Amino acid sequence: MSEIVFLNGKWVGRDQASLSPDDRGFIFADGVYEVTKFYNGKAFRMADHLDRLHRSLNEIEIDFSEFDKLEDISLELLTRNNLIDAEAGVYWQITRGAHPRVHHFPGDIIPGFYAFAFPLPSAKDKLGKGIKVIVQEDIRWLRCDIKSVSLLPNTMLYNKAVESGAGESILIRDGKVTEATHSSVFAVKNGVLVTRPLSTLILPGITRKVVLEICEKYGISKEERLFSETELFEMDEIFICGTGSEITPVVQVNDKKISGGVPGPLTQKIQKIFFDLVQ
Ligand SMILES: Cc1ncc(COP(=O)(O)O)c(C=O)c1O
């Protein structure tokens, strides 16, 4: 049986799903998205994902009002695709809708909505051993706070990591670390956890927020500040985090081993607290 997806109000097999070629998501990447992880049918931080979706839509002036249906649609997707008892992701995408190609935002347009569920098991090997990352120039636009579907720079930068045998790319703008292609970046120096402050240059990561809450609750020193590419190589520990990457230790940056090439103690502590939270 084919996988069931939800597209513009209809439940359809993925191979039957079809879209207008004039959908502005297709023509202009004019849309936003979210990915939420469900642990055995229970969403992690659903309210935060809904809030961020709301914010992204506001920023690009798409008028979408069906927020209260998204959790039910997600659960139905998990059920219909036999993922309700698994670790699964649910993808939501809202585009401005279909309209003959014009550059301005057309007034008479109905937003398009697409959602699907997919298996998203924890990457146990990477979580345990850590990953290598490479460092690249952040070539993305200046509104990385919007979770836009326009992800070509992210995919180019991630693809380069894959080609180099690495698990992510850490990005640098004006000599300072921003984030990674689909994860937030944390580092530890002298017992203090460091991450870049929120701005238009990074996504307000939900896992990032959870990590900062863990620090508050467990008395872990933290600092939201800019740090340079040079500092990155001198950090005692590094990890990336995100809905998919969870808390993934970074044990090598380019050719330089970090924390002796094994996950650092603070990273492991935060990882353990995080997994106690989600289970
Ligand atoms: C660029 C970027 N930064 C950070 C994240 C992590 O965000 P979250 O923790 O909300 O999944 C993502 C997730 O897709 C991302 O694409």
Residue 1 pLDDT grade (very low, low, confident, very high; cuts 50, 70, 90)? low
Task: Render pLDDT for 158-185 as a digit per residue (tens, 0 to 9).
Answer: 999 999 999 999 999 999 999 999 999 9
Task: Render pLDDT for 229-250 as a digit per residue (tens, 0 to 9).
Answer: 999 999 999 999 999 999 999 9
Residues 6+ apart with CB under 8 A from 276: none
Task: Render pLDDT for 181-205 as a digit per residue (tens, 0 to 9).
Answer: 999 999 999 999 999 999 999 999 9
What does the pLDDT read at residue 99?
A: 98
Give the mean pLDDT of 51-55: 98
pLDDT tops 70 at residue 40: yes
* Fold that domain 4-119 belongs to in CATH: D-amino Acid Aminotransferase; Chain A, domain 1 (3.30.470)
Domains 4-119 and 124-278 share a fold: no
> What ranges do the domains of the chain cover?
4-119, 124-278
Of 205, 249, 253, 212, nearest in space to 231 by CA: 253
The CB-based long-range contact list for 72-81 (8 Å cut-off, 24+ gap) reads 73/6, 73/115, 74/36, 74/38, 74/43, 74/115, 74/117, 75/41, 76/6, 76/11, 77/4, 77/5, 77/6, 77/115, 77/116, 77/117, 78/38, 78/41, 78/117, 80/4, 80/11, 81/3, 81/4, 81/117
256 is catalytic: no
107 Cα: distance to centroid of ligand 1 (angstroms):
31
184 Cα: distance to centroid of ligand 1 (angstroms):
6
Asked if 161 and 134 touch (Cβ cutoff 8 Å), the reply is: yes
* Fold that domain 124-278 belongs to in CATH: D-amino Acid Aminotransferase; Chain A, domain 2 (3.20.10)
What does the pLDDT read at residue 122?
A: 97
CA distance readout (Å), 50 to 47, 77, 126, 205: 5, 17, 29, 13
What does 85-98 look like in DSSP terms, one character per residue? TSEEEEEEEEE--B
What does the pLDDT read at residue 200?
A: 98
What does the pLDDT read at residue 98?
A: 98
Ligand 1 lined by 243 (C-beta under 6 Å): yes
Of 24, 49, 7, 32, nearest in space to 93 by CA: 32
2 Cα: distance to centroid of ligand 1 (angstroms):
29
Residue 155 pLDDT grade (very low, low, confident, very high; cuts 50, 70, 90)? very high
Of 102, 91, 92, nearest in space to 22 by CA: 102
Residue nearest atom 3 of ligand 1, based on CA coordinates: 183
46 Cα: distance to centroid of ligand 1 (angstroms):
15
Mean pLDDT of the chain: 97
Ligand 1 lined by 207 (C-beta under 6 Å): yes
Asked if 222 and 266 touch (Cβ cutoff 8 Å), the reply is: no
Question: Which is the catalytic residue, given 147, 209, 217, 256?
Answer: 147
Distance CA 67, CA 61 (A): 15
- Which of ligand 1's atoms lies nearest the C-alpha of 147? 16
Beta strands 131-137; 168-173: pairing state: parallel
Ligand 1 lined by 242 (C-beta under 6 Å): yes
Of 172, 137, 129, nearest in space to 262 by CA: 129
Residue nearest atom 5 of ligand 1, based on CA coordinates: 183
Ligand 1 lined by 179 (C-beta under 6 Å): yes
Q: Where are the beta strands (DSSP E) in the chain?
A: 4-7, 10-13, 31-39, 42-43, 87-95, 112-119, 131-137, 168-173, 176-180, 184-189, 192-195, 222-224, 237-242, 246-253, 256-257
Which residue among 36, 183, 199 is best mutated to probe the pocket of ligand 1, counting the most ligand atoms within 8 A of its Cβ? 183
What backbone torsions phi and psi does residue 213 show, to the nearest 5 degrees?
-65, -40
Residue 279 pLDDT grade (very low, low, confident, very high; cuts 50, 70, 90)? confident
Partnered with residue 112 across adjacent β-strands are: 95
Residue nearest atom 13 of ligand 1, based on CA coordinates: 182
